[in-house]
Structure 1
Amino acid sequence: MEMPPKKLLDQVRDAIRVKHYSYRTEETYVQWIRRFILFHSKRHPKEMGTAEIEAFLTHLAVQERVAASTQNQAFSALLFLYREVLRQELDESIDAVRARQPRQLPTVLTKAEVHSIIQQMTGVPKLIIQVLYGSGVRLNEGLNLRVKDLDFAQHQIIVRNPKGYESRVTMLPTSLIEPLQVHLARVRYAHQQDLDRGYGAVHLPFALERKYPNADREWIWQFVFPAIGLTRDPRSGLTRRYHLHESGVQKALKRAVQSTGITKRVGCHTFRHCFATHLLEAGYDIRTVQELLGHKDVKTTMIYTHVLNRGGRGVRSPLDD
């Protein structure tokens, strides 16, 4: 008896997992593809093409007035659908009305402001923010760190790309070595308790779970910042301990910023901006900063030189004379 063909969105999920994309990317792509189909009165994407994609993207920009990054996200999902699932090349370039990309300089705090915010924080959220500022990692990179990624002897952190691309090495601040070691001692105790109860497994990237069946319970593969409770993996159905959810850190940071009275718009990514800007202020070469941040193109890193030049590009105001 032949198995019925899989539904389109299930095919999308399978293709995404073959590419080792994150679960968040999977959910986002599926959502955009579903919206695309509903926008065109539930027509199958095989019956549509460039014109329908243009109409949908234009609708997002004109009627829904989405941000440029949101429109690009929808576009990426549809390209994935046609190229990786339907194996259908689009005949011509997409000529939709594009949402305007605002040119904004990143928010940067002074060193005093950074330390005042950190002083208002406690526990694991405080330690995570210190890692973001001290090492320049993104929030999701910090939360995805595993025990083996911390090299205390070499004072470095290995940041591994979740999609399997090139990893990078950044600094591990000396001042964080002892707090991280104390934190890991507590994490290891909790991990041992999980093992004693028959749990203790974490998700492993790519096909490592099949290649090393017991590796998911080994200490070196555990998350540095694990979640408080066990959860059911939406892909495998197994009960595991994932890393801490980003919302917990974001809420703790918001409370800390409010306590300081700082009126700038501050998010977790702000501390990555501060890391880069403060290194440049200290005289470090921009190529070094580019490597630590993991930017492919130095032009991306160059935006921090514009931040350094704010306030009239270093020109002294005549009012101050």
Structure 2
Amino acid sequence: MTQLRERMLHELERRNYSPSTIRGYLGAVRQFAEHFHCSPEQLGAEHLRRYQRYLLQEKRLEPSTVEMRVSALRFLYKRTLKRRDLAFDDLIFPKVPHKLPTVLSQEEVVRLIEAAPDRLYRMILVLLYATGVRRTEAARIKVEDIDSDDTGFRRVSAPLRTACPAQRLSPHPLLRLPRQPKTSPHTATLPRSAQPASSN
């Protein structure tokens, strides 16, 4: 590991960047150095502009990929090398097109819920769809969070459990769970002593 790479690694870790971001940033800086066959310490603003143009026009990388590499180089020169001679405003981020999320139809949602392997997973899918909670929030819900009188629950925000107004589950008949015999092997039970489920 070169001294520059080690310095950048320590600076990224000190700022608590995620392991995936650290790998991406270090890889982006390595590719930048390999492109010019020179240490980044000896390169300047013109090299940065030329490299960005090369990524967009010659390599035709996705704007989101170029944005990540630009972020890595900005971090290198601004945080690690502390180069005050560079005008970072000139190193602009490419415009990343925003794609609208795919919205499922009501029929598709019903088919998805009905495809659940058992009652427990079906309850989880109904909860996620009807309330809009995040997966990690749903995994932290406990029995005491359920408001049986109001058919709602208090939202749970990681890492702290925060009491919020109860949100009603959707009353649409297509999303109601069918009654099953008590002897059914797929009946979902939630013991009060159970630990939060994994969100993976």
TM-score, normalised via structure 2 length: 0.64
SS in 1 for 2:198: coil
Gaps of 5+ in 2: 146-152, 170-186
CA distance in 2, matches of 1:18, 1:9: 14
Tell me whether 1:12 sits opposite 2:11 in the alignment. no
| TM-superposed deviation, 1:172 | 8.2
Tell me whether 1:37 sits opposite 2:33 in the alignment. yes
TM-score, normalised via structure 1 length: 0.42
CA distance in 2, matches of 1:39, 1:111: 51
CA distance in 1, matches of 2:7, 2:189: 42
Q: Pairwise mapping of residues 79-118 of structure 1 onto structure 2 (< 5 A)?
A: 79-89=74-84, 91-92=86-87, 93-94=89-90, 99=94, 101-118=96-113
SS in 2 for 1:158: coil
CA distance in 2, matches of 1:56, 1:8: 20
Describe the shift of the 1:86–1:179 C-alpha distance in structure 2 as closer, same or farther (beyond 3 A): farther
Of 132, 135, 146, which aligns to 1:135?
A: 132
Report the counterpart of residue 297 of structure 1 in structure 2.
none
Asked which structure has the greater RCO (Cα within 8 Å, sep 6+), the reply is: 1
| TM-superposed deviation, 1:36 | 1.3
| TM-superposed deviation, 1:19 | 1.2
Identity of aligned residues (%): 19
Residue identity opposite 1:57 in structure 2: Q
| TM-superposed deviation, 1:10 | 2.4
Report the counterpart of residue 155 of structure 1 in structure 2.
154
| TM-superposed deviation, 1:158 | 0.3
Report the counterpart of residue 55 of structure 2 in structure 1.
60
Kindly indicate whether the alpha-carbon contact (under 8 Å) linking 1:159 and 1:169 is maintained by their aligned counterparts in 2: no
Q: Pairwise mapping of residues 159-198 of structure 1 onto structure 2 (< 5 A)?
A: 159=158, 181=190, 185=194, 188=195
CA distance in 2, matches of 1:32, 1:172: 46
Kindly indicate whether the alpha-carbon contact (under 8 Å) linking 1:32 and 1:74 is maintained by their aligned counterparts in 2: yes
Kindly indicate whether the alpha-carbon contact (under 8 Å) linking 2:128 and 2:138 is maintained by their aligned counterparts in 1: no
Kindly indicate whether the alpha-carbon contact (under 8 Å) linking 1:135 and 1:170 is maintained by their aligned counterparts in 2: no
Kindly indicate whether the alpha-carbon contact (under 8 Å) linking 1:32 and 1:77 is maintained by their aligned counterparts in 2: yes
Structure possessing the higher radius of gyration over alpha carbons:
2
CA distance in 2, matches of 1:109, 1:63: 38
Describe the shift of the 1:6–1:60 C-alpha distance in structure 2 as closer, same or farther (beyond 3 A): closer
- 1:260-319 C-alpha deviation (Å, 9 max, x unpaired): xxxxxxxxxxxxxxxxxxxxxxxxxxxxxxxxxxxxxxxxxxxxxxxxxxxxxxxxxxxx
Of 64, 73, 86, which aligns to 1:69?
A: 64
SS in 1 for 2:79: helix
